[in-house]
Amino acid sequence: MPQEPMSIDELKRMAGTIRCDIVEMTCTAAAGHPGGSLSATDIVTALYFRVMRIDPANPQWPDRDRFILSKGHACPAWYSALAERGYFDKKHLSTLRKLGSMLQGHPDMHKCPGIDMSVGSLGQGISAGLGMALAGKLKKQDYRVWVVVGDGECQEGSVWEAAMAAPKWKLDNFTVIVDRNHLQNDFCVEDVMPVEPLADKWRAFGWYVDAIDGHHMEQIVAALEAASKRKGVPTAIVAETIKGKGVSFMENAADWHGKAPCASEADQALCEIRRCICEI
């Protein structure tokens, strides 16, 4: 159901709740990608609880904003946001990655309500988002399209093909947020394939670029809300983040890209996150 946009403090508390969900989901599944899910949490929270025009009771509403998490392995953050927002019962979160579950290891638009695009192969989500944004323009609908990509994902050539096309069509209904956590799989992004100067590259392709702290909720909200009002050009938001944000032993640790916490590690992580929630 539609709800009033959350305040900054409410968003911070919700981000903490989603971080707890991520830890519990991946621990229960004994699999998943907690690191990149935690780095994207604040961005996803701001979109679902403050910025996007959506109706969980009507997931296929034609005029809804569209969201794609192109770095689909970080789907625990997406699933939690959908459940907390009311798209489905939270009890399903405990079925992450189980056979027959609607919450697979990469999102499936045919299984899970609220998923606008099945994702998994990096570099494809931005192109799908581009198509959705162009369709909106052609049909004269005023919905917006929001896509979160990883910084390692920006090594994919298809990202830059989409980046080249969006300004041509003046897709001001299209915003890409780069989760710049500096780590991919087992290594630093810069060691695998350097992507800097990342913000300048987006500018060179004709995008308006905002560079923000991807864990500073005020900055996130300001950038997203400004993007929703900008005319004539697409927006790229380069969000500086920390992989594993909110859990001391996961932060900036490549090991936690695709490793689930055991029960004792989950307990420690939940204590840390809940302590932060209480301090807000």
**DSSP type of residue 262:** -
C-alpha atoms less than 13 angstroms from C-alpha of 144 in its C-beta half-sphere: 24
Helical spans, DSSP H, in 5-92:
8-29, 34-46, 75-85
109-163 pLDDT, tens digit each: 999 999 999 998 999 999 999 999 999 999 999 999 999 999 999 999 999 999 9
Buried b / exposed e over 251-260, threshold 16 CB at 10 Å, is beebebbbbb
Task: Name residues whose C-beta falls within 8 Å of residue 253's C-beta, 6 or more positions apart in sequence.
Answer: 35, 243, 244
Q: What is the pTM of this model?
A: 0.96
Residues 73 and 53: beta-carbon distance below 8 Å? no
Domain segments of the chain: what residues?
A: 8-278
User: CA 89 to CA 17: how far, in whole Å?
Assistant: 15
Per the CB < 8 A criterion, the answer to whether 210 and 227 are in contact is yes
Percent of the chain with pLDDT over 90: 97
pLDDT band at 2 (very low <50, low <70, confident <90, very high): low
Tell me the pLDDT band of 1, cut-offs 50, 70 and 90: very low
For residue 229, which amino acid is it? K
- Identify the pLDDT of residue 171: 98
Q: Which tens digits make up the pLDDT trace of 13-49? A: 999 999 999 999 999 999 999 999 999 999 999 999 9
Rounded average pLDDT over 65-91: 98
Supply the pLDDT for residue 120.
86
Instruction: Give the architecture-level CATH label for domain 8-278.
Output: 3-Layer(aba) Sandwich (3.40)
